[in-house]
Structure 1
Amino acid sequence: MMTAALRLTGIDMHYGYVRALTGIDFHVQPGEVVGLLGDNGAGKSTLLKIMSGAHRPSGGTVEVHGRKVELHEPSDAARAGVQMVYQDLALVDAQDIATNLNIGREILRRGPLGWLGFVDHKAMRRRSEAELDRLGVRTAPMTRPVEMLSGGQRQVVALARSAIRVAGAGQGVLLLDEPTAALGYEQTKQVEALIRRMAAEGVAIVLVTHNLPLCHEVADRVVILNRGVKVADVRLDETENDHIVGWITGARPSQFVTRQEIS
């Protein structure tokens, strides 16, 4: 059996007396796209923050490629090969595309200028173009500032930046938080194509979205939360849209016996 790229077991999250998550088991395989669904307040954003290292769970374990990890902060997740693309994209608007793609891995000039920290912008543009070509991504010229891009182009740049850092069969996990929010039809199609291309390269992808058509376009499986409890974990080709909506709203019974029912 293939080792999961990311596995969470028995995840609990408490805020004082409030239980945000109870006994959540979750996994995603290399090259798989899993939609993480639920209504507002279901706990999906909290679970995503635990995966990304932004929150530490009250209980449970996290494994990346079969190795137990302690994610105390987002940098721990990044070192383990888990990248998060936030809704606000975290791009530097005044900088160009190449600079945004290379934040944290800048290429320095050779010789004394490099020792002084001078960046080789031409080399970064060449590397960025090659990496985007490999991903099959077409955006604006590398020298264009991000603030001059459309919403779809900005989303593609943010996705590509994270994809570059986790690229390689089975080498990384990409967490996407509402990647098509506020995008038009054509821009959404751009993002869908990039998600499919990254999955084909072996990247494991967790997709949090309210957009069920997007989920049906790109996801292999969905995990559904309701009031902090996992109520469904099913392949999309083995279920119906009405069932998914029923689990999200609570109209359909959970697939699982919950801890509260046992007690």
Structure 2
Amino acid sequence: MNGDTAASPATLQDDARSGGRPDSTSVLVATDLRKNFGAVAALAGASLHLRRGEVMALMGDNGAGKSTLVKSIAGVVVPDSGEILINGEPRRFAGPGDALRAGIETVYQDLALVDSMSASENVFLGREPVKAGPLGRLFKLVDRRRMADDAGQALAGIGAKIPSLADSVSAMSGGQRQALAVARAMLWGKNIVMLDEPTAALGVQESEGVLEIISALKSQDVSVLMISHNLEHVFKVADRVTVMRQGRTVGERHIRDVVANDIVGLITGGSEVS
């Protein structure tokens, strides 16, 4: 094949270098997803599979379709055609709530944090627990102690360090904000956590902290799908990489089997797709 021809999902799955076809360990399988916005084909045959407890990097130039693919899995965008399986079951998400109920959490670049609220309040935003007992239920009294305890455990579980859960998010550094958003995703995302450019706009030290958090998610058997443009970061934490170009999946590789130039070739079209 030449560099301008996209592989079919079957070719991708059968390619020995791709990491094999989806199997019983696959928590997410997306096959031949297509989505048009008017005359623009945002997805023109996007496929990937994500296994339990692995980190999959999703790479490609701007406009390759990465964000639309993630939004399709997150229920923000409804594909025109194609199939999504979660734990082997076909799913069609009509909205983000459906994906959330399926255990899929997404951390977008804007992090969706409320600066004026505390760390624990942000972790439970929209999901605040009510105190036990008839009065708690009657007056819908928020159980702030439980919020603080659960938020603290989620942050400790990924090795994140935040000075005080009572502090407003506005006082936190970029890395601390990212850690908080990931902790929220981990607390609620029992199956899959998707991260959109998690180290973008962070310094070297804070980026390393976020990469450690991603590794911690993997160690807790959480499956991570990570959009990234940073090859160095991808090679540090990812098990496999899926590359998209012009709305299509053009390659899937085990990180252990490739070097950076192989991935660059797939991104730019300089390498054969498969």
Give the TM-score of the pair, scaled to structure 1: 0.91
141, 151, 157: which one aligns with 1:128: 151
Greater relative CO (CA pairs within 8 A, separation 6+): 2
What amino acid is the match of 2:271? R
Query: Contact between 2:154 and 2:184, CA under 8 Å: does it hold in 1?
Result: no
- Decide which of 135, 139, 146 is 2:162's aligned counterpart: 139
**Contact between 2:75 and 2:95, CA under 8 Å: does it hold in 1?**
yes
Task: Give the Cα–Cα distance (whole angstroms) in 2 for the partners of residues 15 and 102 of structure 1.
Answer: 34
In structure 2, the residue matched to 1:164 is 187
Q: Does 1:200 align with 2:219?
A: yes
Distance 2:235 2:221 in 1: 19
| AA in 2 matched with 1:134 | G
**Secondary structure of residue in 2 paired with 1:143:** coil
Q: Which moved more, 1:54-63 or 1:10-19?
A: 10-19
Cα RMSD (Å): 1.4
Q: Does 1:181 align with 2:204?
A: no
**How big is the shift at 1:113?**
4.5
Report if aligned partners of 1:3, 1:66 keep a CA contact under 8 Å in 2: no
Identity %, equivalent residues: 36
Structure 2 residue 50 is matched with structure 1 residue 28? yes
Whole-angstrom CA distance in 2 between matches of 1:123 and 1:81? 21
Gaps of 5+ in 2: 1-22
Moved over 4 A (4+): none
User: What amino acid is aligned across from residue 123 of structure 1 in structure 2?
Assistant: R
CA distance in 2, matches of 1:183, 1:15: 32
Structure 2 residue aligned with 1:260: none
In the TM superposition, residue 6 of structure 1 has moved relative to its aligned partner by 0.8
Amino acid at match of 1:143: A
In 1, Cα distance between equivalents of 2:74 and 2:55: 16
Please give the TM-score of this superposition, normalised by the length of structure 2: 0.88
d(CA) in 1 for partners of 2:137, 2:264: 56
Q: 1:225 aligns with which of 241, 244, 247?
A: 244
Q: Which amino acid aligns with 1:73?
A: G
**In 2, distance between residues paired with 1:11 and 1:126?**
40
Cα separation, 1, equivalents of 2:52 and 2:128: 28
> Which residue type is aligned with residue 131 of structure 1?
A
Structure 1 residue 96 corresponds to structure 2 residue 118: yes
User: Match for residue 261 of structure 1?
Assistant: none
In the superposition, relative to structure 1, how do residues 180 and 112 fare at CA in structure 2: closer, same or farther (>3 Å)? same
Deviations 1:44-88 (A, max 9, x none): 111111111111111101111111111111111101111110100
The CA deviation at 1:175 is: 0.7
The AA in structure 2 aligned to 1:100 is N
